Chain A
Amino acid sequence: MVLDLERFTVPRTGVLAVVGHNGSGKSTLLRLLALLETPTEGEVLFNGAVVPRRAPASLRRRVTLVEQRPILFRGTVRQNLEYGLQLRDVSRTAANGIIGHVVEELGLQTLLDRRRHELSDGEVQRVAVARALALRPDVLLLDEPASSADRAAAGALYRALLAERTARPFAVCIASHQLEDAYRWADDIRALAEGRLSPVTPENLFRVDLPAGDGVKSVRVGSVEIVVMTDRTGPAVLAVPPTDIFVSREPLPSSARNVLSGRVIAMAVEHRGAGVHVRVDIGGVELVAAVTAEAARDLALAPGNAVVFSFKATAVRVF
């Protein structure tokens, strides 16, 4: 994968998310940041100092990478957790304390004596995150840390990470193809596309504060009222999948609880001409809908035209 970056900075504290599709160069970028590879051109700086080719172990020890599909060494989970601590000459008692802490944080108590072939992919991922967290690095790099986990497990993993960060601030850089995760857990987001930084396009994602109560609720996003169905309350991220939005020129009688009128700002051709992304301004809020090129032609969609976006309350995803 070819990476072509003018400059990329991981802030000293805070959580930075790098989003992009598979093959966008995320993993390559993380390996460069982990000082495991050297760029063919340009240089990597750590705390302002240029990192030499073949970075010394003393420097590498301050940055730890958890790969997208992490691998465990031969031996038990406990031996894996001890590996990096032994390299740092951490005493046996201190190591046990640290391991006990991360094991509890990531819920690995029952796995300590297992070996790698006795673990699921999601468990391996959690052990790998724990193995990295135990080393208390200055920079923790996570490549799709929740790719093998279900949503609940992913949430638990991110919460453990944040808990660790409240105790001791350190830099975290997460690569993810899930924009929702990035929005929910990161302080800042960079997008990568084909090895280059690209503007983040947070399509139809909104940070909201959900009111109390069960079932259907209405939340304000800017000047727009969006109806959602959820039992969640408090801060959350709403996502309206662009493919779940009906586009029409006039309001249509339908079961959709959300019917929003606006004006087309831009049209972008996707999928080699087969699809069109219609970006619409609805009272100051931007929404994007995905339609086929054929539908866009039939509706005579063009910038400046008035359109109506409709979507069901159940189509709105809550994170």
Chain B
Amino acid sequence: MDFLAEGFRRAWGLLVAGDSEVYGIALLTLKVAVVATVVACATGLPLGYFLATRRFWGRRAALTVVNTALAFPTVVVGLLLYGLLSRRGPLGGLGWLYTWQAIVVGDVLLALPIAAALSAAAIQGVDPRIRRTAETLGAGPWRTAWTVAREARFALAAVITAAFGQVVAEIGAAMIVGGNIRGSTRTLTTSVALFTSQGDFGMALALGVVLLTLALVVNIALQLLQGRGGG
């Protein structure tokens, strides 16, 4: 029990003191998560809309692939990406292995299926009359999509939150392609794992608290963005 209490005390001390290493790690994590979420949603939400609204050959197969990708283990994504980015790999020339960009790529690969599959489900939940009505009132494809998305805004906000949650809590890919390098690719999750294994429980706990706070702040921000409810 002392051990836990000691951990909390140390965590509190680090946070209050504004420990530069803790905040550096938190900032990097935030940067990686925001960039990855933005990229994943910018491609995943339109893809989800497309899958939900267009009838084309192979649509069911595409939906199955996306839904399966939801369960893709993060370490496997990390492993595959490692193969691609390592110096002898096809994308080795980029020199991205063990950089924050590599973590972003891994996180995008993990968050994209979430963004696509969940937004497809959200859009399919919108009354089909909304789309027909937008079209008959003269909306082009973009305005129609915007009108339909507006009807599903709560569900779509939840999709963005879920994508961010996946990215910020992910450790497998970040560990493998980021390498957990101090001061450059050490994220909150990788450092929690490291400090725990080193027995520095206080530091690990402090970073865990920061991770939770980060998730909380981002969720509150997303909720505020949604505006107030009502039809």
Contacts and interface: CB of A to CB of B under 8 A. Distances in A.
Interface stretch (A63-71, A217-225, A263-271): A63-71
B102 to A, nearest CB: 41
A115 B138 contact: no
B198 interface: no
A46 interface: no
A232 interface: no
Interface string A133-156: 001000000000000000000000
A297 interface: no
A87 B140 CA distance: 9
Contacts of B135: 36, 57, 60
Interface in B11-46: none
A70 B134 CA distance: 12
Interface stretch (B109-117, B125-133, B162-170, B184-192): B125-133
Contacts of B143: 87
B137 to A, nearest CB: 4
B69 interface: no
A135 B138 contact: yes
B133 A34 contact: no
B161 interface: no
A98 B12 CA distance: 63
A74 interface: yes
A31 B132 contact: yes
Contacts of A67: 129, 132-133
A245 B181 CA distance: 93
Contacts, number: 58
A124 to B, nearest CB: 11
Given A116-B231, A117-B231, A70 B140 contact: no
Contacts of B133: 67, 70-71, 73
B129 A84 contact: no
Nearest to B150: A74
Contact of A60 (B129, B138, B231): B138
Interface residues on B, range: 10 to 19
A70 B137 contact: no
A286 B146 CA distance: 56
A64 B133 CA distance: 9
A34 B230 CA distance: 31
A61 interface: yes
Given A74-B151, A74-B231, A135 B137 contact: yes
Contacts of B138: 57, 60-61, 64, 84, 87-88, 135
B137 A84 contact: yes
B139 A57 contact: yes
A131 B137 contact: yes
Nearest to B141: A57
In the complex, the 6 A-B pairs of residues with the closest C-beta atoms, listed nearest first: A61-B138, A84-B137, A71-B129, A57-B140, A115-B231, A65-B136
20 contacts: A36-B132, A36-B135, A36-B136, A57-B135, A60-B135, A63-B136, A64-B137, A64-B138, A65-B132, A67-B132, A70-B129, A71-B127, A74-B150, A74-B231, A83-B137, A84-B137, A87-B137, A87-B140, A115-B231, A131-B137
Interface of A: 31, 34, 36, 57, 60-61, 63-65, 67, 69-71, 73-75, 83-84, 87-88, 115-117, 131-132, 135
Given A73-B151, A84-B137, A115-B230, 12 more contacts: A60-B136, A65-B136, A67-B129, A70-B129, A71-B129, A73-B130, A75-B231, A83-B134, A87-B143, A88-B138, A116-B231, A132-B137
